[in-house]
Amino acid sequence: MGGRSPRLLSPTRFEKSARVTTRSQEKLGKEDASTSSGYSCLSSVPSASVTYLAIACMVIFCPTMVIYMWYAHRYLDGSIIQLRNHIRQEKSLLRIVDIWPVPTFFGCMAVGALAVSQALMQILLPGAYFFGPVTPRGNRPLYKKNGFAAYWITMLTTWITWREGFFNPATIYDHLGEIISTSICVSVVLCILLYVKGYLAPSSSDCRSSGSIILDIFWGMELHPKIGRWLDMRELLTSRIAMTSWALLVVSYMCKQIETFGHLHDSMVVTGSLMLMYVTKHFWLEHSYLSSLDMAHDRTGLYTVWCSLVWVPSVYTSPALFLASHPIELGLKVSVTIFVLGFISICILYDCDNQKAKFREANGRCHIWGKPATKIIAHYLIENGEHHISPLLTSGWWGLARNFHYLPELCSAFLWTLPCLFTHFLPYYYFLGLSFLLFDRAKRDDHRCRRKYQRYWEVYCRKVPWKIIPHVY
């Protein structure tokens, strides 16, 4: 899993290099860019009515869904039919208060230990400097490339403490309900604190208020709220905590199966290995994720925080959670086939991300698939009227579809869910939800880029006409 890493530059030198553009490029696109009043990320925020509906859904449906999923896996054999019968027997959805786990000291310690350890490593571990994408106000967040080291330190520490008998990861499975309940409470409190911080001490000029406290808490006021120089809360939540918790929970479920049945069954080996491979891939190319479109425009509010602290750990790991108590034997041929297909999907996804990362680092001057990368130079204005240039990649995987990487993403998710077989629906809830999310995101990305790049996006779409699946969609 190779790939050229960003050059190790000092912050000052790197900041200067990030602002370099050629005069000929500026002259070419400035006239077209000036026809726009400036791209604003606020225009991408849904209307108040849509937001209030989303808030009601997240506050009422999503926590209830997460708790019911955990309860079904823990006490109802992972069966949605048994869950339905349980709800009917109780005759009211309000009975969820009877099964809702209470936040405990263990839950607080688990969430707190993960958050503090990841925050300290984000600040203290060395790493190459790199910049995120330009924000609508012309800012560029500065990061350190140390996520891969932090991830491996966490995983090795977990393995050593388990081997030496200091901590059994299966304990996390036993207290999962308490941890989820604690995470729900923490996410709400944290969003309120981020709102207060954005109001009193914003980290950059990208801080904005909609005029509504509810909307500001839900969508967030800041793009990249920071505590000090290096503790970027957005990076900490969406990458370090969310993705690391995914890996730790998978390890916990694998340990629980060993504790319960004496060994790992091949279904869990396939699912757990593919999930851990995916998370490892994420941290190896974390700099690519931090340069994505969402990081430049989605603010850090309840939507982002809750998904990072609750939804990802609870729902994304659900296939492995199901297998922890369902010792399914697939057989050697089936196991190897699913694993190889999943491995290929993750490798293609890695290559997609690596091509985009290499293209960004070289400012479009690189080779992809043995040939010079082809691109479209797009010009645009940000909110303060500054002119910027962004090369749009049109070769490699990115020449097949504008969001081709969503296809191997979905294939990977389906393949690490497939070992659960088809006796229960709940393990596939994650895959179905992810499918809806990615296809909807492709539409939103297209709308956002069309508004940002204007006629250059039209040229790009003629060059790369498909959104996700070549010749299909």
Answer whether 457's CB lies under 8 Å from 402's CB: no
Average pLDDT over residues 345-371: 93
pLDDT, mean over the chain: 87
pLDDT digits (tens, 9 = 90+) for 400-439: 999 999 999 999 999 999 999 999 999 999 999 999 999 9
Q: Is residue 296 very low, low, confident or very high in pLDDT (cuts 50, 70, 90)? A: confident
Q: Is residue 293 very low, low, confident or very high in pLDDT (cuts 50, 70, 90)? A: confident
Q: Residue 447 CB: number of other CB atoms within 10 A?
A: 12
Looking at the chain, the whole-number percentage of residues with pLDDT higher than 90 is 65
Dist. CA 230–CA 121, nearest whole Å: 10
The confidence score (pLDDT) of residue 298 equals 82
Q: Which of 79, 73, 70, 80 is nearest to 100 (CA)?
A: 70
Residue with the bigger pLDDT between 239 and 61: it is 239
Which segments within 114-210 are labelled E, that is strand? 128-131, 142-145
pLDDT digits (tens, 9 = 90+) for 16-43: 433 333 333 344 344 444 444 454 444 4
The confidence score (pLDDT) of residue 59 equals 80
Answer whether 80's CB lies under 8 Å from 426's CB: yes
Q: Which of 426, 256, 278, 416 is nearest to 327 (CA)?
A: 256
- Residue 202 CA neighbour count, 13 Å, CB half: 14
DSSP class of residue 6 equals: P
Is the predicted pLDDT of residue 297 greater than 70, yes or no?
A: yes
Show the tokens assigned to 217: 């808490």
Residue with the bigger pLDDT between 182 and 207: it is 182
What φ, ψ does residue 297 adopt, rounded to 5°? -135, -20
What global pTM score does this model have? Answer: 0.88
Dist. CA 374–CA 366, nearest whole Å: 9
**Cβ neighbours of residue 450 closer than 8 Å, sequence gap 6 or more:** 457, 458
The confidence score (pLDDT) of residue 286 equals 94
Domain spans, the chain: 11-463
Is the predicted pLDDT of residue 11 greater than 70, yes or no?
A: no
The confidence score (pLDDT) of residue 136 equals 80
The confidence score (pLDDT) of residue 97 equals 79
pLDDT digits (tens, 9 = 90+) for 121-134: 999 999 999 888 88
The confidence score (pLDDT) of residue 46 equals 55
The confidence score (pLDDT) of residue 459 equals 95
Q: Is residue 8 very low, low, confident or very high in pLDDT (cuts 50, 70, 90)? A: very low
The confidence score (pLDDT) of residue 3 equals 39
Q: Which of 74, 135, 71 is nearest to 97 (CA)?
A: 71
Q: Is residue 359 very low, low, confident or very high in pLDDT (cuts 50, 70, 90)? A: very high
Is the predicted pLDDT of residue 55 greater than 60, yes or no?
A: yes
Average pLDDT over residues 428-457: 93
Dist. CA 268–CA 416, nearest whole Å: 9
Residue with the bigger pLDDT between 311 and 296: it is 311
